[in-house]
Chain A
Amino acid sequence: MDELIKYAPELALGFWENVKLSLVGVVASLILGTILVAMRVSPTPVLRAAGTVYVNVIRNTPLTLVLAFSALGLSDQLGLVFSEMPTTNSFWIVAMGLSAYTSAFVCEALRAGVNTVPLGQAEAARAIGLTFIQSLTMIILPQAFRAVIAPLGSVMIAMIKNTTVATAGGFLLDAAATMKEVFDTTGASIPIFLGLVVAFMALTLPIGFLTGWLARRLAVVR
C-alpha cells in the first residue's frame, strides 16, 4: 500500500495523460469514423474503395504497429511535427495514431447502424430532393448512431484501454509507462496494479452504463 501512496502523484499525472489521450481519441475517432462511413456508403466508387481499403488495412494491423508507424514513419521519416516539445509532439502523434486506428472500428459500428435503417427511408429522402449528404446527415446517420450507441461505447472503452500502449508511439508519460518506471525501482507492486485498474474502471464503467442507458432511451421505434 505504501508504494501506491508514495507514487500516487506520479501515477496520477501519468493517468491524466491517458485521460487526455482518451478525450482527443473519442472526439477525433468519432469524426473520422463518421467521415469513413460516409465514404463507405457513398455513391462514388472511388470514395467507397478508399474507405474500404483504409478500414480493412487499419483494422487488421496491430495498434502497436500503427503507433510505431505514426512515430517513425510519419513523424521521423516524413517530418510530420505537431510541436517543438518532444513530449507534446509524441502526445499528438499517439493521439493521431490512436484515433486513426479507432476510427476504423467506429466506421464499422456505424455501418452496422446504417444497415438497420430501412432502404425505403433513404429513397424517400432522395425522392423529396435531399442530396446524398443531406439524407446521410439528416436521415441515415442520426438513426444509425442511435442504433449502435452500445457498440460504440464498447469501441470507446477499448480505445481508452488502448491508450496504455502509447509507448509504442514514443510517448512515455502515460500511466502504464509511469508504472513500469516505478516498478523498475521498487519492483512489481500489487497495490499499484490494482490502483491503476480501479482508475481505468472509473473511466470505462460509466461509459458502459451511460451508453447502455442512452441506447435504450434513444432507440428509434419502427
Chain B
Amino acid sequence: MTENGDATPLVQLENVNKHFGALHVLKNINLTVSRGEVLVVIGPSGGGKSTLCRAINRLETIDDGKIIFDGQVLPAEGKALARLRSEVGMVFQSFNLFAHKTIRENVTLGPTKVRGVAKDAADKRAMELLERVGIAAQADKYPAQLSGGQQQRVAIARALAMDPKMILFDEPTSALDPEMVQEVLDVMIGLARDGMTMMVVTHEMGFARRAANRVVFMADGQIVEENTPDEFFTNAQTDRARDFLSKILTH
C-alpha cells in the first residue's frame, strides 16, 4: 500500500473539531490516510462527511486540532494554500465544471494557470486524460452539452490533470441517473488500481467492496467505526452502523 517506499501517512487528522454555529459537525476526528490507500467514508446524511472532505483541502476551516498533509500542517491561506489545493484533487457531487469553458479548457486550466505548463503540453495531456475517461470525442463541447456521467468523468480528468497526490470524492455518483453511475465508478476503480490515494464519500457498496482498503463509518460528526469493507458490510460492530446498513440495503 505504500508508494515510493514512503511509510508516513499522506493525510493525518488529529483531534479535529469543527462547528457551524452551535452545531458540532466534526467531533474530535482522528484519521489517517496512507499513501495509495482507498478510503471509503459512509454514513447518514448530515453526519459531517462532506465537511471532513472539505476540511482536507481547506475549503472549510477547522476550529481546532491539526490536519497534516504530506508531512505539513495545512497552510492557512495565500500561495501556500493554493499549492496545497493543487495537490489535492476534488470531485464534487454536482460536477462543478466551468460552464463557459470547453471540456478541454476545463482540463487544461489548472495545469496552465497554476502550474505554468505550456498550452501545447497541457492540451496533449488533457486529451490523454479525456481518452482515459472516455470523453475525448467531446473535448470541444461545453459542459451543458454532456450527460451527468460524462460531466463527472470530465471532473475526474480535471482533477487528474494536476497530478494530485490524492483525490477527494464527495458523493460523486449521487447526482447521477442510475444508468450513469457505473461508468463513473469504473473510472474510479481504474484509478484505485493505478495506486491513486483516494478518499471517497459514497454509499456505493459495490465500489467499496471492489476498490476500498478501508471503510470509515461516520455519524453525528464522529467516526463510529472503521474496518475492511468485507468486515464492515457483513459484520458491523456498532448498532449505529448496523441500523444504517439495514436502511441502505433495503433499497
Residues of A within 8 A of B (CB): 118, 120-121, 123-131, 134, 138-139, 142-143, 146, 220-222
Q: Say whether chain A's binding surface is mostly helix, strand, loop, or mixed.
A: helix
In Å, the complex CA distance between A124 and B114 comes to 13
B59 close to A127 (CB less than 8 A): yes
Q: How far is the CA of A126 from the CA of B78 in the complex (A)?
A: 11
B162 touches which of A128, A142, A146 (Cβ 8 Å): A128
Whose C-beta in chain B lies nearest to the C-beta of A146? B100
A124 contacts which of B88, B96, B100 (Cβ < 8 Å)? B96
Chain A residue contacts of B95, Cβ below 8 A: 120
Which of B16-24, B38-46, B79-87 interfaces with chain A? B79-87
Q: Say yes or no: A127 contacts B98, CB within 8 Å.
A: no
Q: Are B99 and A221 in contact (CB under 8 A)?
A: yes
B169 to nearest A CB, angstroms?
12
CB atoms of A128 and B97 under 8 A apart = no
Q: Are A125 and B100 interface neighbours, CB within 8 A?
A: no
Q: Is the CB of A130 within 8 A of B144?
A: no
**Pairwise interchain contact B144-A129, C-beta atoms closer than 8 A:** no
Q: Shortest Cβ distance from A206 into chain B, in angstroms?
A: 26
Query: Does B110 contact A129, Cβ atoms closer than 8 Å?
Result: yes
Residues in A with CB closer than 8 Å to B88 are 127
Residues of B within 8 A of A (CB): 57, 59, 79, 82-90, 92, 94-100, 109-110, 113-114, 142-145, 155, 158-159, 162
What number of A-B contacts does a CB cutoff of 8 Å give?
A: 77
| Bound form: Cα–Cα A109–B69 in Å | 41
Pick from B85, B94, B100, B145: contact of A128, CB under 8 Å: B85
Are A128 and B144 in contact, with the CB atoms below 8 A? no
Of the residues A125, A129, A146, contact of B98 by C-beta under 8 Å: A125
Contacting pair A129 B100 (CB below 8 A): no
Supplied contacts A134-B114, A221-B145, A222-B144, 12 more A-B pairs, CB within 8 Å: A123-B92, A124-B155, A124-B158, A128-B85, A128-B86, A128-B109, A128-B159, A129-B114, A130-B109, A134-B113, A139-B100, A143-B99
Measured in the bound complex, the distance between the Cα atoms of B248 and A193 in whole Å is: 76
Q: Is B158's CB under 8 angstroms from A123's CB? A: no
Give chain A residues whose Cβ lies under 8 Å from the Cβ of B110.
128-130
Neighbouring A residues of B96 by C-beta, 8 Å: 118, 120-121, 123-124
A194: min CB distance to chain B, Å: 43
B85 touches which one: A126, A138, A142, A220 (CB < 8 A)? A126
Give the residues in chain B near A125, CB-CB below 8 Å: 98
B82-A131 in contact (CB<8A): yes
- Those 10 A-B pairs whose CB atoms lie nearest each other, nearest first: A129-B86, A120-B96, A128-B110, A124-B96, A127-B90, A221-B144, A129-B114, A129-B85, A129-B82, A220-B100
Q: Given A138-B109, A221-B142, A222-B144, answer yes or no on A130-B100 (Cβ-Cβ < 8 Å).
A: no
Contact B83 A129 (CB under 8 A): yes
Which residue of A123, A127, A131, A142 is within 8 Å of B100 (Cβ)?
A142
Taking a contact as CB atoms under 8 Å apart, the answer to whether B162 and A129 are in contact is yes
Q: Which of A120, A127, A139 contacts B57 (CB 8 A)?
A: A127
User: Roughly how many angstroms separate A128 CA and B106 CA in the complex, as a whole number?
Assistant: 11
* Nearest CB in chain A to that of B164: its residue: A128
The smallest C-beta distance from B243 to any residue of chain A, in angstroms, reads 32
The answer to whether B82 and A127 have CB atoms under 8 Å apart is no
- Give the CA-CA distance A220 to B99 in the complex, in Å: 7
Q: Are B162 and A124 in contact (CB under 8 A)?
A: no
- Whether the Cβ atoms of A130 and B113 lie closer than 8 Å is yes
- The interface residues of chain B lying within 8 Å CB-to-CB of A142 are 100
How far apart sit A143 and B97, CA to CA, in the bound complex (Å)?
13
Chain B nearest CB: distance from A200 CB in Å?
34
Closest chain B residue, CB of each to CB of A117? B99
Cα of A121 to Cα of B95 in the assembled complex, Å: 9
